Amino acid sequence: MTFKKQLMVCSAAVALTGAALPAQAAPWTRGFVVSAYEYAFRYGGRPDFSRGAEIEPGVDCPHGSTVHLASPEQTRIAISRQKWRSQQEIDWVVAPPGVEKVSTPGLTRRHIWARAMSYRGYKRGIETYVNPWATDDPGQPQVVSRIGDGFNLDGKVNPNDFISPDGERGIDNALYRAWGCDAPWRGGGNATLDLRANDKMIEGLFTMVIRISGNQDPNNDSNAVLEIGYSPDNVIKDARGGVAADYSYRLLTSAQYTKLKAKIKNGVVETEQAEHLHTPRIAWFYDQTGDTNFRKAKIRLNMARDGLTATGLMGGYRDWRDLYAENTFAQDGGQQGTREHEDAVSLYYALRRNADGLFNEKTKRYDGISSVYRLRMSAAYVVEPNEPMEIPKLMQEEERKAAFEGIKQAVIKGVATRIPQPVPPGTTEGSFPALESEMDGLPGREYFLQTLDRPHYEGEDESGLPPWLRKNKKEPVSPPKQQVLNEKPIVAAQNQ
C-alpha cells in the first residue's frame, strides 16, 4: 500500500511538470568510407539518346560537349592556328605518310598529334600545356543551365549563380559552369574520368573516411562533430565488386584531415563554413594525389535512417591552377587531348574566365574557383590508429610525383610572369620520349624528328636522351637543371 501511494505521488509529479521525463543524452558515433567521389556536375540528357559515340547535349550543354583533339579534323583545326607552321607540316601531322607500315599505327599517329599539339605557342619552342596562356583560347563549351548542386559560399545571390534542385538560390559552383560540358567529366554517373578515378580509389590508390559524432541523437543533434580525411587502409569490396559495409578504417589526423562543427536535422548533416578544408584529391594516378585544400568550405550529408549509407556534397573555393595541373599532368597534356577528347588549353581559359573567389590583391584577379564534389558512402567503423602515423609514400613513384609538383609550379610561374617556362625534368610532357620509340619504320621519321619541337634538358647525350632516361645506369642520376628560355614577359599575350 505504501509503495502504491509513492507511485501515485511520482505520477502526479510527472503530470505537473509535463508528461514523461526526457531520456538522457548518450554519446554516439557513425562512420563512413567513401565509395564514389566526383565533381558535382549535373546532367540533363536522356538515357535513351544515341548519336554515334556522342553524349546528348542535354539542357545544361545545348552547344554539345567537347570533341577536341580526338580526330584528324580537330587536329588540323588546332595546329593550323600557328602561322609559323608550313602547309606540309600540317598535312603530314594530320595524316602521317606511311604510318600504316609501323607496328602500331594508331599509337604512332596519336603520339605525333600529341607532340604537335604540345607546341602551339605564339612561336616555336614554347610548350603549350606548361604555358597555356601563350596560345589562343580554342573555346570551351560552357554550361548554360541555371540548375546546379552546391552551396551559397559567399552569402550573396548573384545573377550568374545557380539554383539548387530544391530551389535554393545563390549556389556557387563555377567549376561546373567551366567544365560541365567537358566530355570525359560529363555523364549521368558514368563519365570516363569519374569512373577511372573511383575505380582507382576502390582499388587502393587512396581511401577517404568520414566520422560523425555527438551526444544527442544521430538524426537530430545540434552540437555534432564531423571529421573527414585520409585512411591508410584499402577499401574493402564485397562479392559484387561494390564497397562492403561495416569494416574498420583508420583515420589519420596528420594531413588531409579536417574536424568541423556540425548540426544534424532529420538525418541531414550541415557543417560550419571552414576557412580551410583538407581532404584527399580526386586522382587516378599517384602523382595527382594530395590535399584539396578547399577554402571557405562546408559539407552537407544525408544519412540513411539505418546509418548504412550516406550521400552528400563538399564544396568551397579551390585554386584553379591546382585543378588545371591535376587534370592536365596526371598523364600529360597531349594524352589528355588525344585519349580523353579534351583540350587543356580550353580548360585553362574556362577556369580563368570563371574564377570567382580568393581575390589576389597583387594581380587583381581571382585565384580560386567555387567547386563542389559529390560523395557516396558506405557504413564503416572509423577508428584511431594505434600509433600516430603519416600518409604512406610509394617510394617508386615519388620521383614522378616530384615532377608533377614541379610542372605545376612552372605553370603558376608562367601564368604570373608571362615568361615561357621550360618543361621540368622527369615528366612525359610533349610525348617525349614516347614518340621517338613509336616511329620505328615510319618513312617520315627523320622529318618529324627535325620538324616537331620537343622538350630539351641539360646533360642530353648525342641522341638527345636526358640522363634520367638512359638505360643501364650504374648509379642514380639526379635530374638536371632545367633549360631557361631567354624570354621577356609578354605584355599582350593573346586573349589574356
Position 13 in a domain: no
How far is 421 from 409, CA to CA, in rounded Å? 10
Position 324 in a domain: yes
Number of folded domains that form the chain = 2
**Amino acid in position 209:** V
Do 99 and 168 lie in one domain? The reply is no
DSSP string, 314-336: EEEEEEHHHHHHHHHSSS-HHHH
Do 199 and 305 lie in one domain? The reply is yes
How far is 24 from 124, CA to CA, in rounded Å? 74
Do 412 and 358 lie in one domain? The reply is no
Do 352 and 248 lie in one domain? The reply is yes
Position 369 in a domain: yes
Do 151 and 89 lie in one domain? The reply is no
Instruction: Name the H helices within 238-319.
Output: none
Do 195 and 341 lie in one domain? The reply is yes
**In a 10 Å sphere around its CB, with 0-12 CB exposed, 13-18 middle and 19+ buried, how is residue 311 labelled?**
middle
Position 245 in a domain: yes
Position 10 in a domain: no
Question: Cell 639526379, residue?
Answer: 478
Range of the domain at 39: 28-63+140-392
Do 196 and 184 lie in one domain? The reply is yes
Position 112 in a domain: yes
How far is 373 from 316, CA to CA, in rounded Å? 9
Last residue of a domain, one of 374, 392, 410: 392
Last residue of a domain, one of 392, 419, 441: 392
Do 356 and 408 lie in one domain? The reply is no
| β-pairing verdict for 28-39 and 207-214 | antiparallel
| β-pairing verdict for 247-250 and 257-265 | unpaired
How far is 290 from 438, CA to CA, in rounded Å? 33
At 342, list the grid cell. 579534351
Do 156 and 229 lie in one domain? The reply is yes
- The CA-to-CA distance between both ends of the chain, in Å, stands at 92
Smallest Cα–Cα separation from 168: which of 147, 195, 137, 154? 147
Tell me, yes or no, if the pTM score tops 0.85.
yes
Position 23 in a domain: no
Do 260 and 115 lie in one domain? The reply is no
At 16, list the grid cell. 505537473
Q: What is the pLDDT along the chain (496 residues), one digit of tens a residue?
A: 443 333 333 343 334 334 444 455 789 999 999 999 999 998 765 555 555 555 555 678 877 777 778 789 999 999 999 999 999 999 999 999 999 999 999 999 999 999 999 999 999 999 999 999 999 999 899 998 889 999 999 999 999 999 998 899 999 999 999 999 998 998 767 788 999 999 999 999 999 999 999 999 999 999 999 999 999 999 999 988 889 999 999 999 999 999 999 999 999 999 999 999 999 999 999 999 999 999 999 999 999 988 899 999 999 999 999 999 999 998 899 988 888 889 999 999 999 999 999 999 998 999 999 999 999 999 999 999 999 999 999 999 999 999 999 999 999 999 999 999 999 988 889 999 889 888 989 999 999 999 999 998 888 887 788 877 775 444 443 444 444 454 555 444 444 4
Strand locations in 146-256 (E)? 207-214, 220-231, 247-250
Do 216 and 111 lie in one domain? The reply is no
**In a 10 Å sphere around its CB, with 0-12 CB exposed, 13-18 middle and 19+ buried, how is residue 76 labelled?**
middle
Rg for the chain, CA atoms, rounded: 27
Last residue of a domain, one of 341, 365, 392: 392
**Torsion sign, CA atoms 230, 130, 198, 375:** positive
Do 122 and 168 lie in one domain? The reply is no
